[in-house]
Structure 1
Amino acid sequence: MVSIALGQMRRRPAAFVGLAAALLLAIAAVTLFGSLIAAQAAAPAAARKTVAGPGVMVIAGAFGEIAVLVSFFVVVNALGFALRQQHRELALLRTIAATPRQARRLARGQVLATTLLVAVPAWALGAVSARWFLAALQRRGMAAPGVRVPGSPVPILVAVAAALVVGLVASAVAARRISRISPAAALTASSTEQGRTGVLRLLAGTGALVGGGLLLRLTATRSVEDLDKAAQAALLGALVLLVAAALLGPLMTRVLVAVLGAPIRLLAPGAGWLADANTRGYARRLSSAVVPVALLVGLSGTMSIMTSTAGHAARASAGSVTSATDVWLRQAELGLLICFATVSTVNTLVAVTAERRREFALLRLVGATRGLLMRMLGAEAVLTAALGVLLGSAVAGAASAAFSRAVTGSAVPSVPVGACGWIAAGAVALTVPGILVTGLRAVAGPATELAGDGRD
């Protein structure tokens, strides 16, 4: 099974490069904030008392909480997609007497191999980032000059262990469906998409939706003095709502496509009809592409609007609701979240499009031209971007409204129109060219050879 697992990784580099990038960022993030906590813990007591304010440990804990959760959300999304791409191969293995346990072992082997592959560069990235971040805190008087990042291996060991636990649990859940059904049913399921969302997934999505709502309600009830706690609760609530969107994505995209698909069919009768049919028939695939875009827009928009709202409240009152260091911390956190969300968006869009080579070849064999396929992909890209921006904006609006209620007493936040416009434009700029550039390569080559390729 080890050789088969490694062979699958070589045959599907797009999916596993995306998983490797997600694991790299996750391990680096845990190493970064773990190293900062270790630095504060190892510092002399006198050095810790020389700095007014929360200190490095509190900053690292509050700052890293959302970043680590987002990074592991990206890992789970990338891993689930990488395993879904292998349904056909896993089904074929089942037909030649591979047991469900062996199929699950293959998935675990791929997670283990990918994690170990990125462990060393992730450690280097996390250690360098920890030193840079600590130096930035010291320049702003938020950390004592004598605090140093220790050379202890504990942060990287904890980071690798956490990544392995998350990856192995996610792989077990993702491989469960293909390993529990009969080989014949698995082979049929690999070439089609289930028309209904499972009951467990619906229940989990509904639970996440309720949990996100409760977190936003908690945010709205915070006092002005608890600004940082309100911001963290709002970001956590936005993330939980995005998890709910990921779980309920296939159901939500079917509803939204039914509304947005009609204009596309009218504007581009041929390519628009194909795009609408694809998005309706493969709602789970569309959801996989939409959720990372929503993650990028939702978290970035929430952070930008919260920062603007806090600054507006500070200017409108005599009190000090925010400060230059607070703004810097939020901007740094925004940059890190954008980094995670961008990697997730690019990885997923490239992998989703690249895996459709066989589908494009079959369409070409029945008369579709490369030009028609590219116009179809263009229509799908616009629809994907629109759905992602719409969903992310809804999450950002709900989270920032709760934060605004806590800070200003009003549910109407101060929206930085320019910054939000750039976020939406950035999401579109990642989505549309990413799909089209990958599509150019996917539609190239002889259709007869690609149609017989086992890679869907």
Structure 2
Amino acid sequence: MLGLALRSLRKRASAFAASFLAMLLGATMVMGFASMLDTAEGSGATGAARETLTTMATVVGGWGLLLVVFAVASTLTLSVRQRAAEMALLKSAGATPGQLARMIVGEAAGLALVAALAAIAPAIAAGRALLGLLHGTGQVPAEVGYHFGPAALSIGIGVTLVSAVAAALIAARRAVRGRAAESMAAAAADDARLSKKRIVFAALFLLAAASEAIVTVTVMDGSSDAMATSGQADIFAGIGLALLAPAIVRRAAALAAGPLRALGGAAGDLAAATMRRRTGALASAVTPVVLFVGTAVGTLYLQATENAAMDAAGLAKTPEDKSIETLNFVVIGMVVLFTAIMLVNTLIAATAHRGREFGQTRLAGATPRQVLTAVALESAVLTVTGVVLGTVASVFTIVPFGLARRDSAVPDGDVRTYAAVVALAAVLTGLTAFGATRRTIRVPAVEAALR
């Protein structure tokens, strides 16, 4: 099965593109931040400079690690879900569940190793840029030179391999269970029911977010140290809500069915039927929207509230305050870039797989314009769902921090900040879905339907 996995990677490179990009970006991010440990050690940095480098590597890198693991798991699950019919055929040909699991894990491990090695060069560039930012803000002396070594390599390659194998094992468990006939039926139905383990993990992440919020309001009340606890609550909450996305999207699709049919006519009816039938696959596009909106909104308003609290107290920013502010904006930039690319990546992968569906729909009488309109309506529902969930996730950060620092649940900051984040999420989702669909339906309907 390992040989089959390697041949599968060579012959079906396009099918693994989304997972490879997630691993490549993840490895680049993790190595780039981890190289701050090499820099601190290799340059002999001491005092505040060493602390800043270590904090940048551990705190921001830790958040990035969490996002990377979740992104890799999401794209691999989507890839395996899209190959459900293929897995069922292999079962009917005599493949055992253990063999299929080894094939999936072998594919993921091979992909992760290539991605990690390919990430070394961009990670070095990213690490240099990060150190340059710290030089520019005066947090690290200019004489501290950049070093990329064993810490970055071991952490980056290790994390990429472990996260890929762990994600593959999770995806494989669902793909290989059941008999061939049952697997074929499940592949056709795109079953989006939540497993017990998924619900448990979602509850754990939401409880972690709630715990951070409670600690912020009670233990950290009145202290700027509240940023340390509240700052990660939105990430925990975002991941917890994203794990529940299939069930939430199914409910959102049911609520939107009536308005879609009323406003979109035939295209609206097509969109409503598709969302009801392909809930599991479409829910994968909601995940990056939730993380993007939740983390960006939470961190931006957290920093705005902290700035307002310091202004009200008549305090000037210390080097430590500037360091924390830089960390926050690095987090925002990291999350915006990573989740934006993952959003585009996931939507392209999910839409490209629908070529046969689009072909069959056109043969049944739908025009290309109706297909495009239906996908646009689907994207609108998914965007609204993701924005709502992301906003809920951000509340776990901005409300507790506001209460702790300003005795107010209403965050400081301009409402245009929120509008800009939402608009960017909507533009990315809409343009990507439209472009990917338009490219997919260029294939003649008969040819696409036979694929």
Aligned partner of 1:5 in structure 2 is: 5
CA distance in 2, matches of 1:111, 1:257: 32
Aligned partner of 1:150 in structure 2 is: 147
Following superposition of structure 1 onto structure 2, how do residues 42-441 of structure 1 map, counting pairs within 5 Å? 42-44=42-44, 47-49=45-47, 51=48, 54-194=51-191, 196-223=193-220, 226-227=223-224, 229-320=225-316, 323-441=321-439
Contact 2:40 2:53 in 1 (8 A): yes
Report how many aligned residue pairs link the two structures.
449
Aligned partner of 2:39 in structure 1 is: 39
Contact 1:15 1:347 in 2 (8 A): no
CA distance in 1, matches of 2:401, 2:311: 17
Aligned partner of 2:23 in structure 1 is: 23
Q: Classify 1:53/1:13 alpha carbon distance in 2 versus 1 (closer, same or farther; 3 Å).
A: closer
The root-mean-square deviation of aligned C-alpha atoms, in Å, is 2.2
Q: Classify 1:217/1:353 alpha carbon distance in 2 versus 1 (closer, same or farther; 3 Å).
A: same
CA distance in 2, matches of 1:226, 1:76: 36
Q: Classify 1:373/1:236 alpha carbon distance in 2 versus 1 (closer, same or farther; 3 Å).
A: same
CA deviation after TM superposition for structure 1 residue 320, in Å: 4.6
CA deviation after TM superposition for structure 1 residue 300, in Å: 0.9
CA deviation after TM superposition for structure 1 residue 381, in Å: 1.4
CA deviation after TM superposition for structure 1 residue 324, in Å: 4.3
Contact 2:242 2:290 in 1 (8 A): no
Q: 1:284-317, CA deviations, whole angstroms, 9 ceiling, x for partnerless residues?
A: 1221111111111111111111111111112222
CA distance in 2, matches of 1:53, 1:151: 15
When structure 1 is superposed on structure 2, of 342-351 and 112-121 the one drifting more is 112-121
SS in 2 for 1:368: coil
SS in 1 for 2:338: helix
Q: Which amino acid aligns with 1:271?
A: A
CA distance in 1, matches of 2:10, 2:377: 31
CA distance in 1, matches of 2:119, 2:24: 5
Gaps of at least 5 residues in structure 2 are none
Q: 1:115-136, CA deviations, whole angstroms, 9 ceiling, x for partnerless residues?
A: 2222233111222222222232
Q: Classify 1:369/1:86 alpha carbon distance in 2 versus 1 (closer, same or farther; 3 Å).
A: same
CA deviation after TM superposition for structure 1 residue 280, in Å: 2.0
TM-score in terms of structure 2 length: 0.93
Contact 2:309 2:405 in 1 (8 A): yes
SS in 1 for 2:119: helix
CA distance in 2, matches of 1:381, 1:66: 28
Contact 1:381 1:431 in 2 (8 A): yes
Q: Which amino acid aligns with 1:392?
A: G
When structure 1 is superposed on structure 2, of 142-151 and 372-381 the one drifting more is 142-151
Contact 2:271 2:374 in 1 (8 A): yes
Q: Which amino acid aligns with 2:66?
A: L
CA distance in 1, matches of 2:330, 2:76: 27
Contact 2:239 2:291 in 1 (8 A): no
CA distance in 2, matches of 1:416, 1:13: 45
CA deviation after TM superposition for structure 1 residue 13, in Å: 4.5
CA distance in 2, matches of 1:206, 1:53: 37
Contact 2:375 2:437 in 1 (8 A): yes
Contact 1:48 1:55 in 2 (8 A): no
CA distance in 1, matches of 2:407, 2:310: 13
Q: Classify 1:13/1:400 alpha carbon distance in 2 versus 1 (closer, same or farther; 3 Å).
A: farther
CA distance in 2, matches of 1:65, 1:155: 13
Q: 1:144-170, CA deviations, whole angstroms, 9 ceiling, x for partnerless residues?
A: 344333342342122111111111011
SS in 2 for 1:166: helix
When structure 1 is superposed on structure 2, of 96-105 and 145-154 the one drifting more is 145-154
CA deviation after TM superposition for structure 1 residue 240, in Å: 1.7
Contact 2:234 2:395 in 1 (8 A): no
CA deviation after TM superposition for structure 1 residue 380, in Å: 0.8
Contact 2:37 2:151 in 1 (8 A): no
User: Kindly, what percent of the aligned residue pairs are identical?
Assistant: 28
Gaps of at least 5 residues in structure 1 are none
Q: Which amino acid aligns with 2:106?
A: G
CA deviation after TM superposition for structure 1 residue 334, in Å: 0.8
Q: Which amino acid aligns with 2:253?
A: V
CA deviation after TM superposition for structure 1 residue 418, in Å: 1.7
Q: 1:327-382, CA deviations, whole angstroms, 9 ceiling, x for partnerless residues?
A: 33322221111111111111111111111111111112222221211111111111
